[in-house]
Amino acid sequence: MATKKTATTTKRKTVKKSAPAAKKTSTRVTTVRSASASAGASRRFSFMRAPLLASSVAEFIGTFLLAAVVLAASGQPLFVMFGLLAIVLLVSGLSGAHLNPALTVGALVTRRITAVRALSYVVAQVLGAILALVVLNAFVSAAPAVSEQAQAFGQAAPTVFNAPAVASGKEWVVLAAELLGSVILAFAVAAGLRRGRSKVEHALLYSGGLYVAILVAGTAANYVGASAVMNPAVAGSLQALEFSVWPLVIYVLTPLVGAVLGFALHDVVQTENDTVASAK
């Protein structure tokens, strides 16, 4: 009888000691998961930890280069795509490489950046695009004058590339093209910023998205003799902005709305995808 009691007591003690061990194990697993989640979040938005001045300077330089490429290449989609690819690789580590006030506003509305950073980015982008126009215009102005004999053979004086004026009565067509292109571009950029992709992947998504947007929206706008810019800062470089209602609505307000829709659409799709994946 004494032997049986001893065995039973030993079993009870063993069970009591094993319970705390299980708790410790679960606590350790939770800690590891929390640490990995924090590391993933820091990788996704690492550019937000960069100093505001450095990020703004990167946006200024990147937008200057983008506007210069658009002006020098006369807006040719293939040249713009490769130029943007290199520019995003250059500055994405510092600022996320928005290079577009519309994308910055879209990122702000979807809570990817703060209001202070967004305002600083927009100012830097506008200044960079204006400087690109000034620099390219200075080079063109320094070109030698074309002689009358050369003009007789069809040679014209060099000019800075600019966007054609929107024909009267076709404003809604250009507005729709600008909206469609901005949604496509913002959706592609949101995929690179939100999902924590590498710099190369982000650059490919941005440049590829812009190429597709130019092909779709640019072709639609070309049918009525206009062009789709999808970037309010670059629209200033292309001299598409005037102090009248339609140019401001088409090239400033519409890209802002399109970018917000593109970012929001990506978030909805991504959330739904995550929900389905977690359910499985």
Q: Are 194 and 112 in contact (CB under 8 A)?
A: yes
Instruction: State the pLDDT at residue 273.
Output: 76
Which of 15-24, 47-56, 131-140 reaches the highest mean pLDDT?
A: 131-140
Give 36 or 98, the one with higher predicted confidence.
Answer: 98
Least confident of 52-66, 156-170, 185-199, 266-280: 266-280
Supply the range of the domain harboring residue 234.
46-142+160-279
Residue 14 maps to a domain: no
Instruction: State the pLDDT at residue 181.
Output: 96
| Predicted model pTM | 0.79
Instruction: State the pLDDT at residue 198.
Output: 84
CB atoms within 10 A of CB 253: 16
Structure tokens at 143: 């070109």
Radius of gyration of the chain (CA): 27
The Cα–Cα gap between 99 and 124 comes to 9
Residue 201 maps to a domain: yes
Residue 38 maps to a domain: no
Which of 61-65, 73-77, 200-204 reaches the highest mean pLDDT?
A: 61-65
Residue 4 maps to a domain: no
Residue 217 maps to a domain: yes
Between the alpha carbon of residue 225 and those of residues 95, 169, 174, the distances in Å are 35, 12, 9
The Cα–Cα gap between 60 and 120 comes to 10
Total of domains in the chain: 1
Q: In 3D, which of 233, 240, 253 has the Cα closest to residue 64?
A: 233
Q: How confident is the model at residue 192 (pLDDT cuts 50, 70, 90)?
A: confident
Residue 34 maps to a domain: no
Give 195 or 245, the one with higher predicted confidence.
Answer: 245
Instruction: State the pLDDT at residue 17.
Output: 46
The pLDDT tens digits of the residues spanning 207-223 come to 999 999 999 999 999 99
Residue 187 maps to a domain: yes
Structure tokens at 100: 């577009």
> Which CATH number does the domain housing residue 61 bear?
1.20.1080.10
Structure tokens at 102: 């519309």
Residue 198 maps to a domain: yes
